[in-house]
Chain A
């Protein structure tokens, strides 16, 4: 079995029984990345508890419209961060969070980053990697930008040469 098959199998395993799926009632923090429009939205809820005078993550849950890999990584992440302090959880990269799945194919690295982003947005909302207001136009924006609304449509016949 090659590594791609291996990866697919591990993702399939992970999504058969995703852990901690859905909104967490009484959550102390919520973080969202992406948007539903992009099909890449991922939201995480986190609840804390005190253990030996330390504030640690009691439970984390997630909801996503992302792909299967995002579901698999998010499910793993909610388990991995349980019992950790905010500082400890923030040291985990997308790579750490997806480690149990093995190396991610290039197209799927983004899915793990989505999970890392949602976690950061929940645990350290003031610290964001890239200022979303200062982005270069994305493919999605180009696709959704007002499509020549102000322009007038001048119909001609097919035989007529158009510029």
Chain B
């Protein structure tokens, strides 16, 4: 599995979205296990089908993406879509998108337990990588409309709100 993840970094998201594998310690896998072994101990999932799912992972990642422009337009139009920030507290304190919510353990519990599975919400981070994992994690829990904002807050500063300062981490 370690090798698979090196070759296909999106495999983890694909496996969790489709089969709820690799999301937390109770459904995780070891780097030394083979894909076949993981399939066998997950109710004998058909290996070929799982491979197809991993190969189609990139497309599935893209389906969860939403552009900063679309988010801005929909919020502007009055749609109530929670915009959730999954960056560090320090980054949030430095700069964040007005109206967004900071992601905490409590919020995660609340979403998992109380939010309807069809509710639409958008994650963002600095450049759109961590938020892709976040959206996949919730998609794996059955949230069909969990999105990730492409390019993160950086793309928002460039394309939507030039007043919001960009930053870099050193």
Asked whether A and B interact, the reply is yes
Q: In the assembled complex, which residues on chain A have CB atoms less than 8 Å from the CB atom of B16?
A: 139
Minimum distance in angstroms from B94 CB to a CB of chain A: 5
* Selected contact of B18 from candidates A37, A104, A107, CB within 8 Å: A107
The minimal Cβ–Cβ distance linking A162 to chain B, given in whole angstroms, is: 5
Q: By the criterion CB–CB under 8 Å, are A136 and B2 in contact?
A: yes
The winner among B41, B94, B134, B169 for most chain A CB atoms within 10 A is: B169
- Interface size of B by CB at 8 A reads 60
Q: Which of A18-26, A55-63, A80-88, A149-157 contacts B (4 or more CB under 8 A)?
A: A149-157
Binds A, one of B62-70, B72-80, B137-145: B137-145
Judge whether A163 and B168 touch: CB under 8 Å: yes
Question: When the two chains form their complex, are residues B23 and A38 in contact, meaning their CB atoms are under 8 A apart?
Answer: yes
Whether a CB of chain A sits under 8 angstroms from the CB of B1 is yes
> Contacting chain B: which of A9-17, A44-52, A125-133?
A125-133
Is there an interface contact between B167 and A94, defined as CB atoms closer than 8 Å? Answer: no
Q: Please indicate the chain A residues that have their CB under 8 angstroms from the CB of B43 in the complex.
A: 94-95, 104, 109, 112-113
A140 at the interface (CB under 8 A from B): yes
Known contacts A65-B113, A107-B19, A135 near B13 by CB under 8 Å: no
Q: Give Cα distance in the complex from A106 to B21, angstroms.
A: 11
Inter-chain contact B21/A110, CB cutoff 8 Å: yes
Q: Is the CB of A139 within 8 A of B91?
A: no
Assess whether A1 is interfacial by the CB under 8 Å rule: no
Task: List chain A residues, Cβ under 8 A from B27.
Answer: 34, 40, 110, 113-114, 138
Q: CB distance B90 to A160 under 8 Å?
A: no
Question: In this complex, what residue of A is CB-closest to B45?
Answer: A106
Tally of chain A residues near chain B (CB < 8 A): 51
* B7 CB–A CB distance under 8 Å: no
- The CA of A107 and the CA of B141, in the complex, are separated in Å by 8
- In the bound complex, how far is the Cα of B141 from the Cα of A132, in angstroms? 21
Chain A residue with minimal CB distance to B164? A158
Is A39 in contact with chain B by the CB < 8 A criterion?
A: yes
Whether A154 contacts B26 by the Cβ 8 Å rule is no
Distance of A39 from chain B, by nearest CB (Å): 3
Instruction: Tell me, in angstroms, the Cα distance from A78 to B42 when the chains sit together.
Output: 22
From A39, A104, A149, contact of B90 by CB (8 A): A149
Complex CA distance for A155 and B142, rounded to whole angstroms: 37
A136 & B29 in contact (Cβ 8 Å cutoff):
yes
| Interface residue? B130 (CB, 8 A) | yes
Q: In this assembly, does B81 line the interface, its C-beta being within 8 Å of a C-beta of chain A?
A: no
24 A-B pairs with CB atoms under 8 Å apart are A34-B25, A35-B26, A38-B26, A39-B112, A65-B113, A112-B43, A113-B42, A130-B33, A136-B2, A136-B22, A136-B30, A138-B22, A138-B23, A139-B23, A140-B24, A140-B25, A143-B134, A143-B137, A147-B87, A147-B88, A149-B90, A155-B95, A156-B166, A158-B158
